[in-house]
Structure 1
Amino acid sequence: MARRPLNSLSGRFLILTTVFVMLAEVMIFVPSIARFREDYLNVRLERGQIASLVLLADDMIDAQLEQELLENAGVYNVVLRRDEVRQLALSSPIPEPITASYDLRQANSLTLIVDAMRVLLTPENRIIRVIGNPVQDGGLLIEVTMETEPLRNAMLDYGLRILALSAVISIFTASLLFLAVRALIVRPIRGVVGHMKSYASAPEDARRIIVPSAKVTELREAEAALHDLQTQLTGALKQKERLAQLGGAVAKVSHDLRNILTSAQLFVDRIEGSEDPLVRRMAPKLVGSIRRAVNLCESTLAFGRAEEPPPSLARVQLADIVADVIDSERLAAGEHDLSFSEDIPAGLTIRADGEQLYRVLSNLVRNARQAIVASGDPGEICISAQEDDEAWWILLTDTGPGLPPKAKEHLFQPFQGGVRKGGSGLGLVIASDLLRGHGGQLELRRTGPDGTEFAICLPKANLSLNSAAAE
């Protein structure tokens, strides 16, 4: 579809510039035409005064000379006031009655403008009286009688010349501004659009990222912002590609690992029949761990197919889940001076997916344990819970060294928020994603040298849970 010139930035700027210049010229035209009328009337007064000087030089002049003087002055009568005496200096028959009188001695700008517009808008020829001050102190006042038609014609001629000149100035000014806008604004904008189209065709190619070069400050800022956006987007696309490749590899590993764990589960089932008390006590926990690993592998495969199901919400005992998590992490802590505690109200039942909630708590406790063990100092991890009318709250606190600045900045971003060296930063991402599936959220309340505290919020409202699960 062809581009319409008037819809372009430069075309609209041309139109707006022309309109604004014309408006400015109209604002100049109105007082100008009023000044022209005033000058025209003053000239008639001056001519009338000059014509009356003949009478002062010779008291008796013939009627033909008097008529010729009045015609040259463009008036019908001339009245002078000298020494408080009003004298009809020159006169001739008036074809119509006088319809209006105008005193120019004390007329303000507004009055002159209104009178001028009235003359322009009244096409009929009228007889008017004009009063003014004589030139060269030739008396107290001078008064002439004249027609309005010659005045209106002169005003129209002057106005048309002013408007024509204004149009020429407007077009010339708008054309210059049009060319300037095209050179200074439109052309750089088209360059930016061209860069955007080129980048859109191959966003992974870093060579297509725009290099700020505009001389106009605002355009240079826009180019700099676009440069930053394209740089971040290119990095994100590369990371997305790496994640896709990693996801394929993880899916393959999970597939084979699931088979191995399934075989291990069969062997554990045999171990449960042992008579050894220690084996009988540890076997159920081993079975539970292998079952969770198998479920995790299956979930990973489902995620790789973009078919991960929403959480299966049910009433679960929070204390049982917390106990399983702490037992597993206590074994993982080994001989390190690390204590675990729990403060869960007896009989507290929450509505959640038990397996997913176990993964959330396990990731959080594992992160806390690894941070404390890496510091080499003794520590404590505590899980507590409470509820109110709207939600269940699970608090996890530790006495570890706190999160480093990079981890806080990229807290819930995969492969960027790792706390320890070699960590993937996926633990908090997984926990946050699983909680969003419940309609809840994970938030960092505090972190520092004296420890870290995370808060889990699980809403009680069914609507929030169902909506979150659907999303």
Structure 2
Amino acid sequence: MTDSARELPASPRRARIGAALTGLRRAATSLPGKLLGLAVAFVMLAEVLIFLPSAAAFRNEWLRDRAEAAHLAALAAEAAPGAMPSEEAVRELLAGADVVAVGRVYDGVNELVLGGRVSGELVKADLTGTSLLESMIAACDTLFAPPGRYINIWAEPQTRPNERMSVIVREDPLRDALIDFSIRIFWLSIFISLVTGGLIYLSLLFILVRPMRRLARAMTAFQEDPSDLTRMVEPSRRADEIGEAERALAAMQADVRAAFRSKERLATLGSAVAKINHDLRNVLSSAQLISDRLAMSSDERVAAMGSRLVRAIDRGVRLCAETLEYGRSREHDPHFETVTLRDALDDAAGDAFASVGAAEWINAVEEGLTVRADPDHLHRIFLNLFRNAVQAMETSETRSLSVGAAIEEETVRVRVADTGPGIPERVQKTLFAPFAVTGNRNGTGLGLSIAKELAHTLGGEVRLVETGEGGTVFEVVLKAG
């Protein structure tokens, strides 16, 4: 068998291992996996914080047991027949108490009750006045202590409160017992953390994760087909934040569906209006020819009526044309360039005066001031504003249109002021709405709506600053060049 043949079974095995690792990685990075990991981590942290006091208590209890055993051994030595127990009896008493030496202090006198040999480093452990922090530090020191050390325990016997005992023990048995205790605590902590983390995970899964998944699936399904009623989310009766999110999503879906229905109806209506508009323009064209002949009549009364009819038909034709143009318009994405603002305003004013009549033109914009905008969009914004301003000044004694600009941080604020009669209060509420009622009887209500829409595509805005008998001021905010 060739080497390549031997390697073939390894490929599917590696593929399975890779797929398993990918699944584990995906599970670990998912929301449930993160919740489970956090729950286990927090429980383990709590167990670590609990372990240190527990280890300190275990160490103190171990030392206290040795001190009590040493006290009993000392009492046995005192009760032995004769003045002094034999050396063999001392070794038996020390071995039974698992201590090296026992002494006591009373009335300022140090007395060695049972003695043994100490051949290593000696550390002190005072059980009569040790704080919790000191006990925890001592427990950590015992865990990492070198072998061969001894501990000198100072304690007070329960039967003789006026005495103090000094007991010397080997530290190695204490370290071994503390390590065994730590291992038991570790595995108990692992078990508790897994059980607690699993319970927390299951609780969050039913309380938080599953509702969030349902919301995510509902949003994805609704995005694929907003017109399908079966993809609408049904809010639950929950009173928490999840319930609020469900109700908000349901309301948003209802609004979006209503907007889609409105858009479809408007599209159908727009198609019908376009057909009616075409026929109406043909009718108005025929009426325009007749009205032109009436305006040329030798009878002054007939000629005057013909002139009024010509103006009325002209307004009707213009309204039809602008309505059709607005319905068909699809604004292209802006192509930003650095545009000299003063020149752009002069061009827009010239076109406005040529189409609706002249007015005094005052351009107070500084030479060299530039903005970042689409030249075509910029021209149309100010063309609509200037045309509206000139039409508003038809009945004014003074017809003056002025512009000025000021730089504010990263924007340029352009003010357009006219000397017209002002905008009525009833008109101001719907000033920028398409086909809204305007103060100008010849207006279609589209100019300001188009200007605002174009300014928005440039990252700016158009707003009414002030209006009154002395005139009207609009402000256009653009990006500085």
Aligned to 1:151: 174
SS state of the match for residue 129, structure 2? Answer: coil
Q: Secondary structure at the match of 2:173?
A: helix
Amino acid at match of 1:444: L
1:108 matched to 2:131? The reply is yes
| Residue type at the aligned position of 2:34 | R
Q: Given that residues 258 and 298 in structure 1 are in contact (C-alpha distance below 8 angstroms), is that contact kept between their aligned partners in structure 2?
A: no
1:31 to 9, 32, 53: 53
> In 2, are the aligned partners of 1:381 and 1:398 still within 8 Å (CA)?
no
Question: Any idea what SS the aligned residue of 1:125 has?
Answer: coil
1:142 alignment partner, SS class: strand
Offset of residue 126 of structure 1? 1.1
Aligned pair in 2 of structure 1 residues 357, 309: CA closer, same or farther (>3 Å)?
Answer: farther
Alignment check: 8 A CA contact 2:62 2:174 kept: yes
SS of residue in 2 equivalent to 1:145: strand
| Counterparts of 2:54 and 2:425, CA distance in 1 | 81
Counterpart of 1:315 (choices 342, 346, 370) is 346
- 1:55 deviates by 2.2
Q: Secondary structure at the match of 2:103?
A: strand
Distance 1:345-1:440 versus aligned 2 partners, 3 A rule: farther
What amino acid is the match of 1:105?
A: T
Question: How far has the Cα of 1:403 moved from its partner?
Answer: 4.7
2:217 maps to 194
Compute the displacement of 1:433 (Å).
3.3
Alignment-derived partner of residue 7 in structure 2: none
Task: Find 1:304's aligned residue among 328, 332, 344.
Answer: 328
Is residue 402 from structure 1 mapped to residue 426 from structure 2 by the alignment? yes
- Of 262-271 and 73-82, deviating more is 262-271
CA distance in 1, matches of 2:333, 2:33: 55
**Does structure 2 conserve the Cα–Cα contact (< 8 Å) formed by 1:14 and 1:178?**
yes
In 1, the alpha carbon distance for the partners of 2:473 and 2:308 equals 30
1:384, distance to aligned residue in structure 2 (A): 6.0
Whether 2:408 is the aligned partner of 1:388: answer no
Equivalents in 2 of 1:97, 1:129: separation in Å? 12
Matched ranges for 1:135-146 at <5 A: 135-146=158-169
Residue in structure 2 matched with residue 433 of structure 1 by the alignment: 453
How far apart in 2 are the matches of 1:254 and 1:359? 23
Shift of 1:310: 8.9
Measured in 2, the distance between the counterparts of 1:79 and 1:247 equals 108
Aligned partner of residue 136 in structure 2, secondary structure:
helix
TM-score, structure 1 as length reference: 0.72
Shift of 1:143: 0.5
Q: Could you give the per-residue CA deviations for residues 124-165 of structure 1, whole angstroms, max 9, x where no partner exists?
A: 221232222222225421001111110001111111111221
> Residue 442 of structure 1 aligns to which amino acid in structure 2?
V
The answer (yes or no) to whether the contact 2:416–2:474 under 8 Å persists in 1 is yes
Q: Which amino acid aligns with 1:217?
A: D
Are the counterparts in 1 of residues 121 and 149 from structure 2 also a CA contact under 8 Å?
yes
How far apart, CA to CA, are the structure 2 residues paired with 1:235 and 1:316?
42
The code of the aligned residue for 2:404 comes to D
Query: CA 1:53/1:435 → structure 2, altered by over 3 Å: closer, same or farther?
Result: closer
Number of residue-to-residue matches in the alignment: 427
CA distance, structure 1, for counterparts of residue 31 and residue 348 of structure 2: 65
Gaps of 5+ in 1: 328-341, 370-378
Paired residues of 2:421 and 2:470 also in contact (CA < 8 A) = yes
* Structure 1 range deviating more: 225-234 or 289-298: 289-298
Q: Deviations over 1:140-191 (max 9, x none)?
A: 2100111111000111111111122121111111111111111111221222
Q: Which residue of 2 aligns with 1:332?
A: none
Query: What's the secondary structure of 1:456's corresponding residue?
Result: strand
* Letter in structure 1 aligned against 2:416: W
Q: 1:219 aligns with which of 225, 233, 242?
A: 242
Residues 63-111 of structure 1: CA distance to partner in whole angstroms, max 9, x if unpaired?
22211110111111100112221110011233x1343222222221221
2:42 to 9, 20, 29: 20
1: CA distance between counterparts of 2:98 and 2:69? Answer: 8
Are 2:466 and 1:442 aligned?
no
Would you say the 8 A contact 2:234–2:246 is kept in 1? yes
Aligned match for 1:86, one of 110, 114, 121: 110
> Are residues 203 and 397 of structure 1, via their aligned partners in 2, closer, same or farther at CA, if it must alter by over 3 Å?
farther
Instruction: Give percent identity, aligned residues only.
Output: 30
What residue number does 1:46 align with?
Answer: 68
1:281-330 per-position Cα deviation (integer Å, ceiling 9, x unaligned): x97996999599569738945962737799995735959957976x9xxx
Question: What is the alpha-carbon root mean square deviation over aligned residues?
Answer: 5.0
Find the aligned partners of 2:344 and 2:265 in 1 and give their Cα distance: 33
Cα distance in structure 1, aligned partners of 2:166 and 2:333:
102
Question: How far has the Cα of 1:208 moved from its partner?
Answer: 3.4
Instruction: After superposition, give the CA deviation of every residue in 1:245-272 in whole Å (9 maximum; x if it has no partner).
Output: 3343444455556667777888899899
1:195/1:209 contact within 8 Å kept: yes
Partner of 1:456: 474
The worse-fitting range, judged by mean Cα deviation, of 32-41 and 380-389 is 380-389
Pick which of 223-232 and 306-315 moved more.
Answer: 306-315
Q: Which residue of 1 aligns with 2:369?
A: none
Distance (whole Å) between structure 1 residues aligned to residue 200 and residue 474 of structure 2:
61
* Correspondence 1:66 to 2:82: no
> What secondary structure sits across from 1:203 in the alignment?
coil
Within-5 A mapping of 1:40-439: 40-58=62-80, 59-94=83-118, 96-206=119-229, 208-215=231-238, 217-253=240-276, 290=314, 293=317, 297=321, 300-301=324-325, 304=328, 306=330, 315=346, 321=352, 345=360, 360=385, 385-390=401-406, 391-395=414-418, 398=422, 400=424, 402-403=426-427, 407=429, 412=432, 414=434, 428-433=448-453
SS of structure 1 residue aligned to 2:216: helix
2:474 aligned counterpart, secondary structure: strand
